[in-house]
Structure 1
Amino acid sequence: MHYRTDYSPAHLSEAPQVLHLGELRLHYQAYAHRSHDPRPPVLLLGGAFQSFRSFASEVSELLEHHPVILLDLPSQGGNLQLAPQLSLEQLADLIAVFADELQLPALMPIGLSYGSALAALFAARHPTRCARVLLAGITAFGRPGARLLLQEGLALLAEGRTEAFAHGALTGLLNPLRLQQTGVAPVFRKALLRQIQRLSAADIERYRQNSQRLLDFPGFATHPSCPTLVLAGEYDHFTQPWEHAHFAAACTDASCALIHNADHLAQFEQREACTNLYRPFLRGEALPSRSPGSSLLAKQQLLQLDKRHEPRLPPSQRQARLQHADGGEWSVDISELGFFGGLLHADLPQTTDLRGWQLLCKDLPAQPLLALRQNENGLAFVFPHSDQQASQALATQFQSQPLPTAACA
């Protein structure tokens, strides 16, 4: 591997190097202080809506102690090549081929959101090629509610409802009830919303293929055996803290830390708190028992975190109406209600139709909902937050109530 030694954030916008593997193209940039550096390189793998430019600060920070490689596999980041034939596992295997082709030493991947699944699979399937791995926003997508929301996003895109998709996706990334704690500036939130709203047809197809890979993924047959650090934003509703902790518990040698006052974008919202952990971890040093802005979970805590991520309480007005797009309407009793979902009781027909429902509550606009499961306990549902006005009204109602500390904190 020949590294560039002239790193500047401006270079991240330049055309990448390309490794051709048959018809597949892998885009990368590689930096170090020495053009030939034998040390294990950090490999950055981003999530949806991220590009090399997203990691300008990280590269500057990491280069002090490590070579750094940014990699976009087909359909990732700035790599526009579509590869619908490749599964999540096959994409992860491409990382090993990339390392072999460029004769790299064992890698140290940092995987964020979608990239975390690729990094974790690479570490699990190619243990000799991975020295250690850092994961944030781990997307195993075994939780039924998360899968339902991902499927709803794909359905909205298929219907051409990009505005509705954008509002739902943004709510998953940035928890609206915790904006004050996470410090997300309104200008950043608006910029991210515009970015999602303006996805091109090619971007949408790449998102669709990547999301379908996650939905098709059967789960981890094996977990990383190398040293592993899992970072969870304490207010992350999209990939919840207990899911991070369960993943860490399944690994051979893993630590899990809660990043306080952060949600799914923890590494950007609380950069210093994350840096204080990944800096010693990547150098092979012991993690600090106490670190500003985070809490390291004890081993015995990993399988004990509360899976209820938000309070679900009886609303002040329990009586409401439930409508379906086919014209049906029923009186319902809401026994639990939260910003992200709830539980209601009604004399409903058994149905497999998860979409097309609206909840009509007093003093609130009609709330689109997705039916999660229906049994003797009632109808459990999640809000897709695809209607901006309805979502904002619901957020305002919950923001007027005191929010408890996150169940996992």
Structure 2
Amino acid sequence: MRYQTDFAPQYLNDAPRILQIGPWTLHYQAFSEHAQDGREPILMLGGAFQSFRSFVAEVQELLPHHPVILLDLPSQGGNLQLAPELSLEQLADLISAFADELRLPPLMPIGLSYGSALAALFAVRHPRHCARLLLAGITAFGRPGARRLLEEGLDLLAEGQVQRFAQGALTGLINPLRLEETGISLVFRKALLRQMQRLSPQELERYRQNSQRLLTFPGFERHPACPTLVLAGEFDHFTQPWEHAGFAAACADADCALIHNGDHLAQFEQREACASFYRPFLLGSALPFASSGATRLARNRLERLERRQEPRVAPLNRRGRLLHDEGGDWPVEINELGFFGGLVAGNLPSALPSRGWRLQAGDLPELDVLPLRHEGDALALVFPHTDAAASEALAAQVVHAEPRAVAYA
């Protein structure tokens, strides 16, 4: 590997270097203070809607101490090659082939969101190539609600409803109930929404393929053995803190840090809090027990975090109606109502269609809902939040409720 020794943010807009491995094209850029550098390099693996340009601050932060490689596998980032036949495991194997081809020393992958699954699988399947592992936004997708929302997004795309898909995806990435804490501006939210609404047909196909890989991934049979650090945003509803902590607990040598006032994009929202842990971790130094804005979770509490992240309240008017697009109409009692989901009870059909449902609750606009669990007369629901006005009305009703205390320490 020969590294580029000068770095400026605009270089991340340049045409990438290309490596061909069989039929697959890999895009990368590589920077260091030394053209020939034998130190263990950091490997950046981003999530959906991220490109090399997303990591300007990270590259500038890391370069004084480490070589940095940015990699786009087929169907990721700026790499437009479609690869529907490749599984997550096969993409992880391509990272190993990349390391072999360029004769790289053991890597230190940083996997964010979708990239976290790839980075973790790479560490599991190719331990000789992986020195340390940093993960944020764990996307194992074992949680039924998360899987159901991802499936709904794919169904909307198949129907050509890109606007509704984008609205729902935005709510997954940015928790609208916690904007004051996370500091995400209205301008940023609107810009991200526009980006998703304007995805080209090829970009939407890449998103579909990547999402389908997550849905077909059976889960981790083994977990990384190398030193691992997992960063969890305190208010991340898409990949929740307890999921991060559970993943860390399953690893042989892992720590999990809770990033206060962080969301699914915690590494961008709370940069210094994240850096206070990843700086010493990547250098092999001892981690702090806590820093300004972040707390390391005690090992014996990793599998005991509270799983309900939002308040669920019984509305003053608990009478509601569950409607289906094909003409069904059932009275229900609303036992719990939160921003992300609820629980109703009623004499409902035993076999429920998976889509096409709406909930009438008090003076709220009709809410699109997805059935999740149907046990007896109780039905758990999740809200896909594909209608901005209805989501805002629901948020206004539940935003002042406080969740139960959560023991993170």
Q: For this structure pair, what is the TM-score category when the shorter chain's length is used for normalisation? A: over 0.9
C-alpha distance in structure 1 between counterparts of 2:342 and 2:154, whole Å = 23
SS in 2 for 1:199: coil
What residue identity is the alignment partner of 2:325?
A
What residue identity is the alignment partner of 2:214?
L
SS in 1 for 2:172: helix
Residue ranges of structure 2 left out of the alignment (5+ in a row): none
C-alpha distance in structure 1 between counterparts of 2:405 and 2:133, whole Å = 27
1:48-197 pair list within 5 angstroms: 48-197=48-197
* Other-structure match for 2:275: 275
C-alpha distance in structure 1 between counterparts of 2:407 and 2:390, whole Å = 28
What residue identity is the alignment partner of 1:164?
R
Deviating runs (4+, > 4 A) in structure 1? none
Contact map agreement 1:234 1:408 (CA 8 A) in 2: no
C-alpha distance in structure 2 between counterparts of 1:209 and 1:74, whole Å = 11
1:243 and 2:243 matched = yes
C-alpha distance in structure 2 between counterparts of 1:377 and 1:237, whole Å = 27
C-alpha distance in structure 2 between counterparts of 1:17 and 1:351, whole Å = 53
C-alpha distance in structure 2 between counterparts of 1:407 and 1:70, whole Å = 37
Contact map agreement 2:348 2:377 (CA 8 A) in 1: no
Q: TM-score of the superposition, structure 1-length normalised? A: 0.99
Residues 288-319 of structure 1 show CA distances to partners (whole Å, capped at 9, x for unaligned) of: 11211001000011000011111112111110
* Other-structure match for 2:334: 334
SS in 2 for 1:407: coil
What residue identity is the alignment partner of 2:369?
L
* Other-structure match for 1:407: 406
C-alpha distance in structure 2 between counterparts of 1:403 and 1:241, whole Å = 18
Contact map agreement 2:13 2:53 (CA 8 A) in 1: yes
* Other-structure match for 1:259: 259
C-alpha distance in structure 2 between counterparts of 1:304 and 1:259, whole Å = 18
Deviation at 1:390, TM superposition (A): 0.7
C-alpha distance in structure 1 between counterparts of 2:373 and 2:255, whole Å = 33
Residues 160-201 of structure 1 show CA distances to partners (whole Å, capped at 9, x for unaligned) of: 001100010000000000000000011001100100110100
Contact map agreement 2:346 2:377 (CA 8 A) in 1: no
Alignment RMSD:
0.9
* Other-structure match for 1:213: 213
C-alpha distance in structure 1 between counterparts of 2:81 and 2:52, whole Å = 16
C-alpha distance in structure 2 between counterparts of 1:80 and 1:273, whole Å = 34
Deviation at 1:402, TM superposition (A): 4.0
Deviation at 1:403, TM superposition (A): 2.9
C-alpha distance in structure 2 between counterparts of 1:315 and 1:14, whole Å = 54
C-alpha distance in structure 2 between counterparts of 1:236 and 1:37, whole Å = 37
C-alpha distance in structure 1 between counterparts of 2:123 and 2:154, whole Å = 29
* Other-structure match for 1:286: 286
C-alpha distance in structure 1 between counterparts of 2:156 and 2:402, whole Å = 31
SS in 1 for 2:104: coil
Deviation at 1:148, TM superposition (A): 0.1
* Other-structure match for 2:349: 349
* Other-structure match for 1:226: 226
Deviation at 1:49, TM superposition (A): 0.3
* Other-structure match for 2:323: 323
Deviation at 1:60, TM superposition (A): 0.3
C-alpha distance in structure 2 between counterparts of 1:196 and 1:173, whole Å = 12
What residue identity is the alignment partner of 1:223?
H
Identity among equivalent pairs (%): 67
Contact map agreement 1:242 1:408 (CA 8 A) in 2: no
Deviation at 1:408, TM superposition (A): 5.4
Q: TM-score of the superposition, structure 2-length normalised? A: 0.99
C-alpha distance in structure 2 between counterparts of 1:4 and 1:299, whole Å = 40
| Distance change (3 Å), C-alpha of 1:405 and 1:374 | closer
What residue identity is the alignment partner of 1:407?
V
Deviation at 1:352, TM superposition (A): 4.0
Contact map agreement 1:309 1:406 (CA 8 A) in 2: no
Contact map agreement 2:311 2:404 (CA 8 A) in 1: no
What residue identity is the alignment partner of 2:383?
F
Residues 24-44 of structure 1 show CA distances to partners (whole Å, capped at 9, x for unaligned) of: 000000000000000000000
Deviation at 1:377, TM superposition (A): 5.7
1:372-383 pair list within 5 angstroms: 372-376=372-376, 378-383=378-383
Deviation at 1:68, TM superposition (A): 0.1
C-alpha distance in structure 1 between counterparts of 2:156 and 2:182, whole Å = 28
Deviation at 1:147, TM superposition (A): 0.2
What residue identity is the alignment partner of 2:139?
T
Deviation at 1:407, TM superposition (A): 3.2
SS in 2 for 1:249: helix
Aligned residue pairs total 408
Residues 196-243 of structure 1 show CA distances to partners (whole Å, capped at 9, x for unaligned) of: 110100000000000000000000011000000000001000000000
